[in-house]
Amino acid sequence: MVRKSVCCVVGLLTIACLLSSVVPCLTAAAAGEKLKVSASAAVVMDQQTGQVLWAKNPNWRRPIASLTKIMTAVLVLEYCDLQEQVAVSREAARTPGSSMYLRAGASYTVRDLLSGLMLASGNDAAEALAQHVAKTTAEFAVLMNKKAVLLGAHNTHFTNPHGLPDDNHYSTAYDLAVITRYAMSIPQFAEVVASQRRVISEPGSGAGAEENSRPIYNKNRLLWQYEGANGVKTGYTAAAGRCLAASAARHGRQVIVVVLDAPRMWEDAAALLTYGLEEFENLRVVEKGQTVGTIGVAQGISDIIPAVSAEDVWVTVSKSQQDAVGVEYVIHEGLTAPIQKWGPVGKLLVKAGDHVLAEVPLLAGREVEARTLGGILKHFSRRLHRLLVAH
């Protein structure tokens, strides 16, 4: 099935065609008939495309407990080497709540503290790492908030690195899915949170004492109970309720799930992961460099040029519906020669109804000289050169 239409859109000309045999994501309303979760807020997101596959109150700002530590780990990995030594302050060692039982005055590697942070959910590890990166936890929170803005997590605000209660410390299911997706793209992060067990070095307690090793076990029971589970973090406070950011991979795809204030946290996460993994697939709609159409050029040696996609375009689509996804290319109005090859000429949109699934730049597939004496001579000279080279 193919259709074409032409319409004007405030300074843009849109030429729409339809890609056959591509199906859109289920709407939240339709999916809600299949999914009954206890969580007050939840999101299912595809790791590759970043598309939201299902959501419940995705933008509701809530306390997030130890899911905070996902951002803490991201910043630590961006600012530190894993072998750096971190001296534990008395303040860090005395941090209340869940702990990996650090000793004040002792030094641990960043690698070991990350294990304690993400597996044992050590608030003491969060405090020690934050002080190591930014001297104070307040300064570290500034870095956290800057990173959140860069990632597009605009309904998030951090005041500490561990998630202990604070009225000004909050996020949303959607923002946490965005942050988690980014974190899981960092190999060192993905390796840590996929570990069921890590062994860390415990510094000796006296002068000349030898180091001891001790195991730390992951609190994320999905790593044992759910096929393909590979992360990421649990959380709980009385204010936040039971929270979980989870990830699993099957069939060459990976899905992120976030559930907040979820009495049946494990059951919710398993059901949402299965839904995201089994009900959807990822398709490459357009290849990088592929010509998607032709566009008109004013005052040029050539009247038309090919428009090519600047990137591969992938979308996540539902297996259960057969409606087509619309592919539109939106061309900048008033394109006038000269135009450089690979210069921007518009954008390509992949849409399900009015919902944009993907957007990438469109580039000029070839150069166009202006229709002037100089342009004509330049065009003729280049054609002559190509002919001579060919012979």
Concerning whether 69 is annotated as a catalytic residue, the answer is yes
CA separation for the pair 173, 58 (Å, rounded): 5
Give bridge partners of residue 364 from the DSSP assignment.
307
The one catalytic residue among 40, 115, 121, 195: 121
CA 113 to chain centre: 24
Q: Exactly one of 66, 98, 115, 247 is catalytic; which is it?
A: 66
Q: At what angle do helices 123-134 and 110-118 cross, to 10 degrees?
A: 140
- The H or E element spanning position 369 is none
**Is 205 an annotated catalytic residue?**
no
Sequence-distant (6+) residues with CB within 8 A of 169 are: 63, 64, 68, 157, 158, 159, 160, 163
Q: What is the CA radius of gyration of the chain?
A: 26
Question: How far apart, in whole angstroms, are the C-alpha atoms of residue 200 and residue 213?
Answer: 5
Among 157, 149, 167, 144, CA closest to 71: 144
- Considering 40, 56, 69, 195, which one is annotated as catalytic? 69
Residue 288: active-site member: no
Find out whether 51 and 276 touch, Cβ atoms under 8 Å.
no
- Residues forming the active site: 66, 69, 121
